[in-house]
Structure formats: structure tokens, C-alpha cells
């Protein structure tokens, strides 16, 4: 498929935070349903795999950045033994939509920006994000700020989609992302533009090796990644060393 046939709707870098914030505020109520439909339920499995790589101590403190409706934070509390999660996001409406969805009760949500996390240095045993980094402009700065609040010896993890060219099923994924997802998203959320943004932001995202390098530039060490679901998604893991 010729992607150039579709005009870009990606915002200019300076406009991106406001664009992203407004877009997630608009789709917050249908966000979870759309995720389940779009991935056939695989998204929750990816989140569990992310948490399995956190190497948390029992009751370990976990920060979920760009928590959205809190799926990673809620899953962290279901671990055995459970972790102690906090979710942070700059879109109030996403966290509001995630309130009360777990019968076990709420997890703490904080409104804030990944570039200025309101926590002291060395606070968390692990800091994770799911599908956040694609939405920020200065990825190295965001990762460095996440590393700052991680305890020495703790991990910073990133769950993200990869560009379709990363997978042998690229043309199929591209068709699905560019043609099916916007239609489905438009129907479910009433917001065609948000689900046209998704494939376009995925195509421009760094390949896994480049993201690995960005994590190293952010000061993380022993960085590695795992590819999931035919390479359409990857989990990157880096460690904050003691030096």
C-alpha cells in the first residue's frame, strides 16, 4: 500500500503535547474497548510480559508513566506477590475513565508530565511505560527523567509498537493499521482522526535497535529488547546502574 496516498495528520513537534493530550481526552471512554478489539486481547498479554521483566522485589514500588486508564498499574497489583503501583499521566480524562474498573479498588493516579515527574530521585524499583514513548517528541529526555526516579539497580522498561517494516508481516500489518483500524476506531470511538494518528505515529517510530540506543543515551545500561507478536511490538529493558 502506498502510504503517501494518505496526507499526514501528525502535528508539528511544538504542537504535539497539546494535540496528544486533547486526542486522548476525546477517546478516553472507549480506549480500553478499542484496545481489546484492535489487538484481539493481545494487549493485556503484552502488559503482563512487560511486568514479568521488571524484576521487582515483593511489594516493589512501580511507576507506570503514561498510565492512561491504568491497565499496567492494575495488572501490577494482580502480580503474585503484588507490586505497589502508581500511575501518572497528563490526560486527566484517561485516568478518570480508568477509575473504579477494578473490583479490588483503585490504584493511586497522579496527573503529571513524563518530562517532570513529581518524585524524588531513586524512588521506584521499576519505571514502565506502555505505548507512551511514541507520543513524546524528545524520547531520550523522557527516558532520562524516568531513569532519574528509578532506584540504582532498578529497571526502566518500554512497551511499544514497532514500525511495520520491522516484521515479515509488514504489508499485512500496514493494511490492517492504515485501513481497518481507523474504520474500527471511527465506529467505536466516533473519532476517526485519533485512529489515523495511531498508524502514522507507528510508522515514524524508531526501529528496536534505535530505541535501544536511545535508552543507552538516556544513561541506562545492559539494555536489551524482546519482540512479541511477529515483531509488531517490542519490550525494551534497561538498568539504572549505581555509578
State the residues that interact with ligand SAM by CB under 6 A: 17, 20-21, 24, 66-68, 71-72, 89-91, 94, 113-115, 130-132, 135-136
Residue length of the chain: 243
Query: Taking the mean position of all CA atoms in its chain, how far away is CA 132?
Result: 4
Could you tell me the smallest distance in angstroms from the CB atom of residue 243 to ligand SAM? 28
Could you tell me the smallest distance in angstroms from the CB atom of residue 31 to ligand SAM? 7
C-beta neighbour count of 134 within 10 angstroms:
19
- For residues 1 and 95, which CB has a smaller minimum distance to ligand SAM in the complex? 95
Report the SS3 class of residue 61: strand
d(CA 9, CA 198): 10
- For residues 113 and 193, which CB has a smaller minimum distance to ligand SAM in the complex? 113
- For residues 161 and 174, which CB has a smaller minimum distance to ligand SAM in the complex? 161
Please, are residues 63 and 119 in contact by the beta-carbon 8 Å criterion?
Answer: yes
Could you tell me the smallest distance in angstroms from the CB atom of residue 73 to ligand SAM? 9
Could you tell me the smallest distance in angstroms from the CB atom of residue 29 to ligand SAM? 13
Q: Indicate the pairing of strand 109-111 with strand 233-239.
A: unpaired
- For residues 132 and 215, which CB has a smaller minimum distance to ligand SAM in the complex? 132
**What are the grid coordinates assigned to 138, written together?**
524528545
d(CA 127, CA 152): 12
Q: Which residue is nearest to ligand SAM (CB)?
A: 68
Amino acid at each position: 500500500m502506498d502510504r503517501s496516498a494518505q496526507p499526514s495528520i501528525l502535528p508539528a513537534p511544538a504542537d504535539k503535547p497539546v494535540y496528544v493530550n486533547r486526542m486522548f481526552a476525546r477517546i478516553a471512554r472507549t480506549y480500553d474497548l478499542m484496545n481489546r478489539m484492535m489487538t484481539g486481547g493481545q494487549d493485556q498479554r503484552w502488559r503482563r510480559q512487560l511486568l514479568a521483566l521488571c524484576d521487582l522485589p515483593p511489594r516493589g514500588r512501580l511507576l507506570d508513566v503514561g498510565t492512561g486508564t491504568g491497565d499496567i498499574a492494575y495488572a501490577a497489583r494482580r502480580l503474585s506477590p503484588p507490586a505497589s503501583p502508581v500511575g501518572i499521566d497528563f490526560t486527566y480524562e484517561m485516568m478518570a475513565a480508568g477509575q473504579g474498573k477494578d473490583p479490588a479498588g483503585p490504584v493511586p493516579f497522579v496527573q503529571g508530565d513524563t518530562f517532570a515527574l513529581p518524585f524524588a530521585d531513586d524512588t521506584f524499583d521499576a519505571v514502565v511505560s506502555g505505548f507512551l514513548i511514541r507520543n513524546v517528541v524528545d524520547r531520550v529526555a523522557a527516558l532520562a527523567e524516568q531513569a532519574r526516579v528509578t532506584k540504582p539497580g532498578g529497571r526502566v522498561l518500554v512497551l511499544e509498537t514497532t514500525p511495520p517494516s520491522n516484521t515479515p508481516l509488514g504489508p499485512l500489518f500496514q493494511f490492517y493499521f492504515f485501513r481497518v483500524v481507523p474504520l474500527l476506531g471511527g465506529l467505536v470511538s466516533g473519532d476517526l482522526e485519533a485512529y489515523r494518528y495511531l498508524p502514522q505515529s507507528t510508522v515514524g517510530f524508531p526501529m528496536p535497535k534505535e530505541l535501544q540506543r536511545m535508552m543507552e543515551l538516556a544513561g541506562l545500561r545492559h539494555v536489551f529488547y524482546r519482540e512479541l507478536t511477529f515483531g509488531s511490538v517490542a519490550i525494551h529493558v534497561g538498568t539504572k546502574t549505581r555509578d
